Homo-oligomer: A and B are copies of this chain.
């Protein structure tokens, strides 16, 4: 799958970030396909601003998605296909996950 490998382009703060960290029980092909599909689906979601995602061979993953507001985050959480995948994740894929809902208050960057 295409793991996103650059800083997301986001508008001036304030906006929101959802920090999702997870540890997988196993790394099966179905998980990879499902992740890919979710990234396609979330990109079409109202208020979605961007995503950054990295994982390693130990099954640890950090995915940060950026959003316009809390209502858009809630709508994505309750997206029907996404709900099915969340259920599948709890039953089959994840040993642990944590979701942090954050308001991005300030930012700065550097380009060489």
A85: Cβ under 8 A from any B Cβ: no
**B103→A102 contact, CB < 8 A:** yes
- Please tell me if the beta carbons of B98 and A107 are within 8 angstroms of each other in the complex: yes
A80 in the interface (beta carbon within 8 A) = no
Q: Is the interface of A mostly helix, strand, loop or mixed?
A: strand
- Encoded as 1 (CB less than 8 Å from any B CB) or 0, chain A from 64 to 106 comes to 1000000000000000000000000010001111111111111
Contact check, A60 vs B5: say whether CB atoms are below 8 A apart.
yes
Interface string of A3-27 (1 = CB under 8 A from B): 1011110000100010101110100
Give the number of times this chain occurs in the complex, counting copies. 2
A108-B104 in contact (CB<8A):
no
User: Contact between A104 and B107 (Cβ–Cβ < 8 Å)?
Assistant: no
Whether B58 lies near A55 (C-beta < 8 A) is: no
Q: Is A41 an interface residue (CB 8 A)?
A: no
- Asked if B60 and A62 make an inter-chain contact with CB atoms under 8 angstroms apart, the answer reads no
B56 and A96 contact, CB distance less than 8 A: no
Of B23, B52, B95, B101, the residue contacting A107 (CB under 8 A) is: B101
